[in-house]
A and B are shown apart, each in its own frame.
Chain A
Amino acid sequence: MTDTKSRDLFPGALEMMALRLLKREPMHGYALVQRIQQASNDLLQVEEGSLYPALQRLLKDGLVEAEWGVSATNRRVRIYRITRAGIKHLTSEVTSFERMLEGINLVLTLERA
């Protein structure tokens, strides 16, 4: 029932991805889930529900805003929009994430050599 792959995401990864996608356009939770799966070529099997606690955290920290609205399929949904603080946060997160990834990569390639 529980997808172990979703647990393999490091803390904050989901938030980062959500912010990245919301930066392109506002959307609601269901759409976000779909988009993450598509964008990652289904490599990331995110447990759909786990996005919602992440969105709540972003809301609380003021990185996104939410508003009830109507979706493309004419459903009443809550649409999330990234805030200025969110953009700033995303930039710094991505930078530090890339640096971390670079570091990990260096170590891994060293192992292989």
Chain B
Amino acid sequence: MSWFTQLFHRRRLYDDLADEIRAHLDERAAELEARGMSPAQARDAARRAFGNVTSIEERGRETWEWPALDSLLIDVRYGLRQLRRAPTVSAIIVVTLAVGIAAATTVFSWTRSVLLNPLSGAADADRVLALETTTASGSWTPTSWLDYRDYRKYLTSFDGLAAAFPTSFAVGEDSHAELRRGELVSANFFDVLGVRPAVGRFFPSNGDEAEGAEPTAVVGYDYWQARWHGDSTIVGRVVTINHYPFTIIGVASSSFHGSMPAERIDVWVPAAMLGQIVPTGGWWLRDRGTRTFRVLARLKDGVTTGAARAEVEAFTARMAKANGDVSKGMGGMLLPLWKSHWGIQDGLRAPLLLLLAACGLMLLVVSVNTANLLLARAIGRRRELGLRFALGAQRGRLIRLLLTEASILAVTGSALGFTATIWLTHSLRYLLPRFASSSVLDPHVDVAVLGFTVALTAAVALFAGVAPALHASREALVEGMNRGAIGTVHASRLRGALVIAEMSLAVVSLVLAGLFYDSFRRTRAVSPGFNADHVAMSAVSVTLAGYDSARAQTLLRDVAERMRREPGTSAVSYTDHVPLSLGSGSWEDLRIEGYTPEPGENMKLYRAAIGPDYFKTLNIALDGRDFTLDDDSAHARVMIVNEAFVRRFLSGRAALGARVKGWGNWFTIIGVSKDVKTYRLTDSPTPYFYVPVRQVYRPEHGYTFLARSEVPPDEAVRLVGQAVRAIDPTVPVFNAMPLVDYIAGPLQGQEMAARLLALLSGVAAALAAIGLYGVVSYAMAQRTKEIGVRIALGARPGDVLRVVGVQASSLILIGLVLGLGGAVGVARLVSSMLYAVGKGDVPVFAGAAATMIVVAILAVSVPARRAIRIDPLAALRAD
């Protein structure tokens, strides 16, 4: 008989067996009757001779069963019945598991898309490393094209090195142009990353050699689908990028999105075309001091990361000496992609890992709580389990039964949680600054994420099921032998330990949330030094519009002038660096008259090129005079520096009138501004300086208009955009939003992380309360008779409360002490991620402890009140 027919004909097989046994018994009884027994005696004797009919029938049926599958199905069916009998407990377990698993899986999917899978579509991405340049002060900076060419020529640890410069392209003709993310890449870019073309081919290997000689482009798969509807005749078509015609030669594979993590690049052109993409920028390729590229290196087979790192460090140290004029003190580092400084992952790495840890913590509490509730139920069922054992159930079978129940709960919870995850993954954008979110790829739920959920579920089911199952089966053994309470003592100890674990984990997560919220609050309270309220911003890319310096200057002047005439506008200006932007900005190597730098001192200072009225627009106090439209290349070069600049380089001297050399020219300081936070709110004041746009034209970052206006912020933003379009509708506008929104970007992630942590710790605290409630209620129920006696003997409510309190408070105290101890350790671990939060941040710890105590007292008060109300007569009569 094939297994298939067996499976579907089992009902008949079983019936046959039952009939046969009945026939046997009849035949034996008939024979015995014939020998003179009474019918009843004969039937009994026949049964005795036959043995246990039920058990024999079952053993017979077992022959046909797939033992594992069939008994599993039975266990599942039985487990479901059990769970339905205690709907509240089951619901609590399922919902908390769902929350825990949804949170952990969501954060995992974010982490995966941002950190773990930064180069989707690349072959053997784990052999690809980031080679990054460090400045003399140890901070990170992009790499210059010439440095990259040297790396490629001399480094031997790599199969290939690719360079990429991510930027924005205006794709299409004039007024139909759309702004797209693009990359200028080395010709070997796709080869090094191991990407295959979906259509056509990639750049020729000699594509880096002659500037401007390779006007070809590769487009991204999604862009190809969206704009050309997947038309395979795209190869050979000409597309205008930044007003220059490029011939499309290929389409990248669908899974490849460029070199930037969590960002989608739509167009690639050879780096040698930089002069055509940025009309004023062709010389960047010939200047070792202009650093714009990201370098990715593929390790040679058999070369270890350590060996490659050693080679990179030695080589870059030699290069820093050889090119001392621009690279003095600089170095190189080889990093795994997830540690690379490029892109949003740099800012998200720490919060994501922290959230992942917090989710893990919460999931642990959820599991402990589930274990606790299951254990409570197992204790409640010890009669039943004891009976099963007495009837011959094997211990392993009982354990499996209880584990099956835990698994049903875990699987149900996970299914719910996973469904929630599908929705939640998209909320990653709330962690991102508003201006970054548009270009970011949505993280999605894929096989890896599903695998993660399944693994979590299995872990939770095992963790939450094993202890109760082992315990309960042991209990059943005891119960089978005598009805003593030996096992109960063991159970309450185990449950007590679980509650203590829950309490302490909850305290740890409360402290963690408190520390982060505190850090966020303190960061937000820091004054940036300028007033962003009522300021609208809009950025324009003059390079994308194909402007030269003169046209750009006219545009900036005219748009500002037009905006200034709008009613309600009090001041308008423009800059190439908006304060508190993410990103590294631009610096210039300065020589300051009368100041001798110490050996190795970093004289590369960050700066902004701005228009007139900048300080008025942002309400920054200024000593001396502001720039005017007359501060152009025809006039003496002028500079405004901040107070930190004066303190460091011009102390004890008159700042106004001092001279500074940069860009090969001498500038005279005409003003001193108050310090403002230029990069991060948490930075300490750093020397910074401003030059007029008309004297230092650097269009690569685009220019941003800032307008202070009394009209509502969104209306003001619209007016700025309208002013730009009125002057030239072909100029692409981006980052149009109120300035407060823009600078809140970095804080938004922090706030979101703090809120998430608060939510997670709230769940953890609630679970600890449930656990405590369960344990104390159970203990009270056990002692109902004793308390009844006490009340009958004259104990007052206070006395009864003391009985309840002694047990509960020891659990609470131990939990608190362990939790606070753990929190001190955790706080030390995360201290580098916190702003102005000391290691011994007493109020946070005290607050967490107080919260936990209040929650615990609430949890205990319910059973305590029940204990006071015990009716001694009823209690004594019971049982």
Contacts and interface: CB of A to CB of B under 8 A. Distances in A.
Interface of A: 1-2, 28-30, 33, 47-50, 52-53, 55-57, 59-60, 62, 66, 68, 71, 73, 75-78
A56 B15 CA distance: 12
B63 A60 contact: yes
Interface in B59-77: 59-64
Contacts, number: 72
Contacts of B17: 52, 56
A30 B63 contact: no
7 contacts: A29-B24, A49-B52, A62-B1, A66-B16, A77-B20, A78-B16, A78-B20
A53 B60 contact: yes
Contacts of A76: 23
Interface stretch (B43-51, B520-528, B850-858): B43-51
Given A29-B20, A77-B20, 6 more contacts: A28-B20, A30-B28, A49-B50, A49-B53, A52-B20, A77-B27
Given A1-B48, A2-B51, A48-B50, A53 B23 contact: no
Contacts of B51: 1-2, 47-50
- A29, A49, A55, most chain B CB atoms within 10 A: A49
Nearest to B63: A56
B33 to A, nearest CB: 13
Nearest to B52: A49
Contacts of B24: 29-30, 33, 48, 52
A59 to B, nearest CB: 8
A57 B56 CA distance: 13
B21 interface: yes
Q: Kindly list the 5 A-B residue pairs having the minimum CB-CB distance in the complex, ordered from nearest.
A: A49-B51, A49-B56, A53-B59, A56-B63, A47-B51
A66 B20 CA distance: 11
A49 B61 CA distance: 13
A75 B60 contact: no
Contacts of B60: 52-53, 55-56
Contacts of A59: 63
B27 A75 contact: yes
Contacts of B28: 30, 48
B442 interface: no
Contacts of A55: 60
B12 to A, nearest CB: 11
A59 B52 CA distance: 22
Contacts of B53: 49
B274 to A, nearest CB: 77
B652 to A, nearest CB: 102
Contacts of A75: 23, 26-27
A52 B56 contact: yes
A41 to B, nearest CB: 18
A48 B52 CA distance: 10
A73 B30 CA distance: 11
A52 B23 contact: no
B283 to A, nearest CB: 85
Given A30-B27, A56-B63, A49 B1 contact: no
A29 B13 CA distance: 15
B21 A52 contact: yes
B390 to A, nearest CB: 15
A53 B50 contact: no
A49 B23 contact: no
B56 A53 contact: yes
Contacts of B30: 73
A40 B358 CA distance: 72
A57 B63 contact: yes
A63 B81 CA distance: 40
Contacts of B57: 52
A8 B463 CA distance: 41
Interface in B766-814: none
Interface string B22-47: 01101110100000000000000000
Contacts of A66: 16
A50 B20 CA distance: 13
Nearest to B24: A30
A60 B19 CA distance: 18
Contacts of B6: 60
A76 B16 CA distance: 12
Nearest to A78: B20
A75 B56 CA distance: 22
